[in-house]
Amino acid sequence: MTANNEDLLSTVSEGNIRIPGWGGELESAFSAYAGPYLAGRVISRHRTVCDVLTAYSADTSDPVIKAGISGALLRTGKQPVVGDFVVLLNQPELNSSIIVNILPRRTCLLRGAAGDGSDEQVIAANIDTIFIVTAAGKDLNPRRLERYLTVVYSSGAQPVIVLNKIDLADEPAEAVERIKAVAGDVPVVAISALSKEGVNLLEPYSGPGKTVALIGSSGVGKSTLINAFFDRSVQATKAVREDDEKGRHTTTVRQLFLLPSGGVIIDNPGIREIQLGDSCSGLDKAFSDIIGLAQDCRFKDCTHNTEPGCAIQKAVDEGIIPVERLESYHKLTAEIAFQAEKADIGLKRLEKKKYKGMQVSARKLREYKERS
């Protein structure tokens, strides 16, 4: 058993254990499988294999199975990610376990492709709450928080903003107010993961069967927060640079941890910038104040730039909405439109390739018939 698996099992009481987060809909989906199949949940993903947590009992030596991914599943374009519930073809007599299917996902944390790519990347799946972790000091950036909120809302999970390192802030209450100015109704929890101050306020989100994921820049204290939940060190931590308070990536692999509370938490490598992908619905929620005021614009297709009768520009002039927030809204709107255009171009290329393949097949069929 690996050290990580020992950490996993040491938090579980004896007796029959179900996979954390398992429910009726998943049970129904899995009922189609019989024979040498197991249900499991991906706790970490490597290049060609996954570590999968399976249901087990107290006499099971290790509930974590290392499994490859079937070629048939890969050909469908599906890739299992941390948090996924999967179907395993388990053949212990052959020392073989293969992931053959991914059960329906409730939520997906996505990020758009960087550069010229058009495919979105699934970061993690089946998450109830996402902690957007930032730190008091130079990392506190309202514009970045708006970006994170847009992505989290689009995932289907509920966002919670965690302001870490309040013990290092001169005015922690002022930092909280800066966050609330962009957070809307999103809970803002101020903590010090190192001293564990305020960490108990996060416990309602991480109860039995609940899945929490962490996102945020490197150096904000995500690994330290996980250690605080366990009250011991399960994740390595590194100090940030003093000149700019930026950290180096401590976590290099996404990983799911089973919490003492019975919930699970997913750690992610530090993400300073995250591409938005198809996040239109998330944008509307993250900027609900702007979307609400836009109903009062004179023109239904108002772009909130220079049009007469623009309610948003009026709100900016009156100091109701900061000009920086409107600029951020315009920037993210343009980015989502660009990502959508990339995806459309990628789809057209795929259709063109598919059509070309059909033409080649038809030509070969004609040639075969002529020869016959």
Q: Which domains does the chain have, with CATH numbers?
A: 3-102 (2.40.50.140), 108-267 (3.40.50.300)
* CA–CA dist 284, 121 (Å, integer): 21
Please state, for a pLDDT cut of 90, what percent of the chain lies above it. Answer: 52
Q: What is the pLDDT of residues 199-212, one digit of tens each?
A: 999 999 999 999 99
* pLDDT score of 69: 95
DSSP letters, 134-179, are: EESSTT--HHHHHHHHHHHHHHTSEEEEEEE-GGG-S-HHHHHHHH
Burial (CB count within 10 angstroms: exposed 0-12, middle 13-18, buried 19+), residue 268: buried
Tell me the average pLDDT across 240-244. Answer: 47
Q: Is 361 left (phi over 0), alpha (psi -120 to 50) or beta?
A: alpha
Helix, coil or strand: residue 79: coil
Residue 215 has pLDDT above 80, yes or no: yes
Residue 41 has pLDDT above 60, yes or no: yes
Residue 2 has pLDDT above 50, yes or no: no
* CA–CA dist 163, 237 (Å, integer): 18
Amino acid, single-letter form, for residue 283: L
* pLDDT score of 122: 87
* pLDDT score of 295: 94
248 vs 51: which has the higher pLDDT? 51
Out of 55-69, 196-210, 217-231, 358-372, which region has the weakest mean confidence (pLDDT)? 358-372
94 vs 25: which has the higher pLDDT? 25
Residue 7 has pLDDT above 70, yes or no: no
Q: Is 338 left (phi over 0), alpha (psi -120 to 50) or beta?
A: alpha
Sign of CA dihedral 278, 275, 320, 165: positive
- The answer to whether 101 and 145 have CB atoms below 8 angstroms apart is no
For residue 169, which of 181, 154, 159, 179 has the smallest C-alpha distance?
179
Q: What's the pLDDT band for 1 if we cut at 50, 70, 90?
A: very low
Residue 219 has pLDDT above 70, yes or no: yes
* pLDDT score of 273: 55
For residue 126, which of 102, 105, 156 has the smallest C-alpha distance?
105
Determine the distance from the C-alpha atom of residue 331 to the mean position of all C-alpha atoms in its chain, rounded to a whole number.
22
* pLDDT score of 34: 84
DSSP letters, 257-277, are: EE-TTS-EEEE----SS----
* CA–CA dist 271, 262 (Å, integer): 27
Tell me the average pLDDT across 27-33. Answer: 92
For residue 40, which of 58, 59, 22, 14 has the smallest C-alpha distance?
22
* pLDDT score of 47: 81
Place of tokens 């947590």: 53
- Averaged confidence pLDDT in the chain: 81
Amino acid, single-letter form, for residue 101: N
Out of 59-73, 75-89, 115-129, 206-220, which region has the weakest mean confidence (pLDDT)? 115-129
Tell me the average pLDDT across 101-105. Answer: 96
- In sequence order, which residues have a C-beta less than 8 Å from that of residue 60 and are 6 or more positions away? none
DSSP letters, 282-329, are: HHHHHTHHHHHHGGGSSSTT--SSS-TT-HHHHHHHTTSS-HHHHHHH
- The answer to whether 178 and 324 have CB atoms below 8 angstroms apart is no
* pLDDT score of 352: 57
Tell me the average pLDDT across 325-332. Answer: 94
* pLDDT score of 48: 86
Out of 124-133, 294-303, 332-341, which region has the weakest mean confidence (pLDDT)? 332-341
